[in-house]
Structure 1
Amino acid sequence: MTKTPPASLRIGLFGTGRVASQLAPALVAAGHQLAFVWSRTAAAATALAATLPGTPALATLAPPLPPADVYLLAVPDAAVEPLLASIQWPEGALVAHLAGALPLSVFAAQPAVRGGVLYPLQTFSPGRAIDWPAVPLCIEAATSDAEATLLALAESLSRHVLRLDSAQRLKLHVAAVFANNFTNHLLGIADALLAEAALSPELLAPLVRETLDKALANPPFTVQTGPAVRHDAPTLAAHHAALAAHPAWQALYAQLTASIQAQL
């Protein structure tokens, strides 16, 4: 029989980076209790815990681990499996990572724990407030009771909660990299090119906003514009020449042009 998770959960938080530092106050605001905060750097754990009244910083991973309803691993992807292996987990502990690309199977080597995933589909940067109710939260769990607890936790934070398996989540993560990380990099290139011409990046703001609004309102491939879609050879050649000082960007321009034209 699946137990109904309590409305207020005790949560052990591993990590103090960009995600953890934004997630911790959101958990408290949602009515949960942080059993502890841990970091590889003790000072970082102490600093984050100090912003959360009543939350202790965990100084050591030596057993016994403080009890919690959920242990959240808000650490870099590469650190998840070593951290899992380094801790003597309470029997039956619910442990969830927050990674988009890591499968649920990373918990296979830890039979004492119930593995799960709580993946927030968002970009996190210092000084940027996160609207948690609008953030899609993707959950996956090895058991029905673990899923029920993660579902309750996710729904306390967000209006958009999805059950996704590892393959779906990986594809979503790849899509997010294209939509966010690669787009941001392209905007960085645009910003640098404007700076070379002593032009303000604000000039592109209306264009960027319209591009995003249009892409969100339509299938993006169907509203593609520009010299590539027009097969405007003189303009493409002029742009290629203008990028002569940046061969890597020149190659990227050619690759993206070819990709756009392949979708026509």
Structure 2
Amino acid sequence: MTISAELQAAARRLADEVRDLRFSEPIAFVYHPLDYAWAPHAAYIAAYGRTRKDVVFLGMNPGPFGMTQTGVPFGEVKAVRDFLKIEAPVARPDREHPARPVQGFACTRAEVSGSRLWGAVAQRWATAERFFNRHYVANYCPLTFIAAGGANFTPDKLPAAERAPLEAACDRHLLRLVELLEPKWVIGIGGFAEKRAQKVVGGRVQVGRVLHPSPRSPMSNQGWAEAAAADLTALGVCPLSDLAQGTGPDAQGAKAGRGAGRAAHAG
């Protein structure tokens, strides 16, 4: 089997392993993008998971207007369609929160984290092919958790008894991802992903972290691209220094409040 076919098989196994897990309040809805958005997810792997990588960037779990809609990590609709050149049919979860419908590529809400990440990649590498020649982006956990009121709920806040079987499945998948792609580095996008990577593959690869591009982080709102560039430069990994020469909010004020930004959003 090719690397991309092996990655698709691994994603299928992960989907199978987490499908029947159950979670308690405040979680009221659990979305499984690897099931209902499998077509674009498989297309992402087929297009960009064909070769070994130097660096794997690892996110936490799908955002409500990103991978939840498109099946692609950090998959803000415009970025997936226009930059990654992926568009495929997306079905619907078995149960949906009325305020959080899955509209697939018809979704008009922007995923800020995805816009920032893929926007920075586009600025630095110009084409998706150039970026994915050495890099890959994945999520640790494939599930979207939604509270009864419609709020996004992240896996780091799960009770230990519910988190353990989920992490066991996600750990196995992360290990398989690293076995297949053979990266030198796994870079957690935020603290949660970094911690899981360190625990699971820290003995195999070097592990680091960049600031998460979430709008909940004051640091990210002041200049995520420059902050991420500084993080990577400090690690000695694919520096994004030329991003800091751009204009707009993602190219300004990256140093101010850096500690506060990390404290505000760990994952």
What TM-score, normalized by structure 2, do the two folds share? 0.32
What TM-score, normalized by structure 1, do the two folds share? 0.32
Greater RCO (CA < 8 Å, at least 6 residues apart): 2
Decide which structure has the larger Cα Rg and report it.
1
